[in-house]
Amino acid sequence: MDLFSTLIDTKANLLPKDGIVNYYGRVLLPQQANEYFQNLLQNIQWKNDEAIIYGKHILTKRKVAWYGDKPFEYTYSKVTKQALPWTSELLALKALAEEKSSEQFNSCLLNLYHNGDEGMAWHSDAEKDLKKDGAIASLSFGAERKFAFKHKQSKETVSLLLENGSLLVMKGTTQTHWLHRLPPTKLVNKARVNLTFRMIV
């Protein structure tokens, strides 16, 4: 049992209906989290994300990377990416996410937000390549950022802070009924790295 697990009820569902979101809080000690953060900044093959929006080819400020068990192809915003082979640190973090969540993952999408100007707009992760209603485990490193959910019909919202070294799991029908986003903020001027472990089919 880790140091913080007594403080956070990991069985509590943060959503009032139509999906399950569990926040496990910090699953790494601050020093371990900082070491992973530095390692990820250095050793991941970060690239500006490409997208085609209204027929225009654009590059995002946020950087991304895509790793997996096999050279999976993954398409979103009309651009296809191919997964790179796991690094040893990513494999260790995948094992941690799997152990804590009791779920299995075969790929990981990584995001690097250089500061609070960069975020991610409302979306759900329900691309056809993803296992339907499969769990998504999200590990956060570096700057603490707010994360929010919005119900697609009722528009009700739920938000929380994602701490350095923390784990969030979204599962059940969350992606069908809820959007989520990482809002931009003027209050943060440090970088954050996020890893979302997924199951591609």
In the complex, the residues that contact ligand AKG under the rule CB under 6 A are: 109, 111, 120, 125, 138, 147, 162, 180, 182, 194, 196
Cβ-proximal residue to ligand AKG, closest one:
194
Nearer Cβ to ligand AKG (76/86): 76
Rounded to 10 degrees, what is the CA torsion of 34, 36, 38, 40?
-150
The string over 77-115, giving b where at least 16 C-beta atoms fall within 10 Å of a residue's C-beta and e elsewhere, is eeeebebeebeeebeebbebbeebbebebbbbbbbbbee
Nearer Cβ to ligand AKG (5/146): 146
State the Cα–Cα distance between residues 180 and 162, nearest whole angstrom.
13
How many Cβ atoms sit within 10 Å of the Cβ of residue 191? Answer: 17
169 binds, among Fe ion, ligand AKG, none (CB under 5 to 8 A by kind): none
Q: Which of 98, 103, 125, 144 binds Fe ion (CB under 5 A)?
A: 125
Nearer Cβ to Fe ion (89/125): 125
Q: Is 129 in the site for Fe ion (CB under 5 A)?
A: no
Interface contacts to Fe ion, rule CB under 5 A: 125
